[in-house]
Structure 1
């Protein structure tokens, strides 16, 4: 039995201004009260696959709003086309006078879609860790090594790495059984997606 027994934790702050011995590393090799053990890493709260898919769907739906002018322009072209049926029953459409407005709408829609995609996926996600969809569902893309957002450049490279995920969609399904819920692109870029609501 040890001849030295440490005092019990005080119920109130020490009135003499001395540090609380329980806030200091214990001489017996135990961590301070309420702290992780020495050498123990804190496991991140990885976002599950369902949330990641949900965020992707939200992003897709929001980005489709930027694509609306393309749909409108296409409908205008089809509505103004002349349809004829040949002798063998083939339906053909011709439009000799397309007009500038439908073409302008299509071009503006494509430009708006691409601009929104670049802003949401590369710039916003790279600088904050959140796309619009990730922000709605409270999940965040961060570097596994630093715990910080990865920046627009790495967000772009990570998006290119998703090409590997698209082969038979195995990479996109990989988080279902992966210990860190990572896709192949996440493993290549050492990124993780964690539960962290915007605040």
Structure 2
């Protein structure tokens, strides 16, 4: 954590899992709603283009939360934030986009990239490494 302030506490696996589960509560209905709208526009059939558009909208909503609040609603509830690994500040938008793309990379080998934080010295998942981010506990 070169450049990070001393005393920063990394978010543990349990907090991160809790944030993910909370985010599913609002992201899943949003995804379903977008799929239904895409199906209605396409005459009742869900098309490949509708699926892509739904995923892009969800990605943009998540990245907007990251850019504005450094956290999704789930992360806010459990008291963690995403920070630039070098500075502790808000990561640039390009790196947040890489981090989001990294979710796919983390998931592909049976979720190994998500579990990687369990033995990584900096508690980083593969998507954290790709975006050069850390997830830290918020100071109260």
TM-score computed with the length of structure 1 as normaliser: 0.54
Give matches, 1:84-123, under 5 Å.
103=43, 114-119=56-61, 121-123=62-64
Q: Report what 1:169 is aligned to.
A: 111
SS of alignment partner, residue 60 of structure 1: helix
Q: Report what 1:54 is aligned to.
A: 18
After superposing on structure 2, the runs of 4+ consecutive aligned residues of structure 1 that deviate more than 3 Å are 67-73, 100-107, 109-114
Is the 8 Å Cα contact of residues 99 and 128 (structure 2) preserved in structure 1?
yes
Structure label with greater radius of gyration = 1
Query: Alpha carbon RMSD of aligned pairs, Å?
Result: 3.1
Give the Cα–Cα distance (whole angstroms) in 1 for the partners of residues 78 and 16 of structure 2. 9
1:182 equivalenced with 2:124 (yes/no): yes
Alignment: residue pair count: 131
CA distance 1:114–1:195, change in 2 (3 Å): same
Gaps of 5+ in 1: 1-40, 78-99
**Larger RCO (alpha carbons 8 Å, 6+ apart):** 2
Aligned partner (choices 82, 97, 105) of residue 156 of structure 1: 97
Gaps of 5+ in 2: none
Offset of residue 70 of structure 1 = 6.2
Give the Cα–Cα distance (whole angstroms) in 2 for the partners of residues 168 and 113 of structure 1. 21
Offset of residue 72 of structure 1 = 6.5
Give matches, 1:8-23, under 5 Å.
none
CA distance 1:105–1:55, change in 2 (3 Å): farther
Aligned partner (choices 65, 76, 84) of residue 135 of structure 1: 76
Is the 8 Å Cα contact of residues 129 and 142 (structure 1) preserved in structure 2?
yes
CA distance 1:113–1:66, change in 2 (3 Å): farther
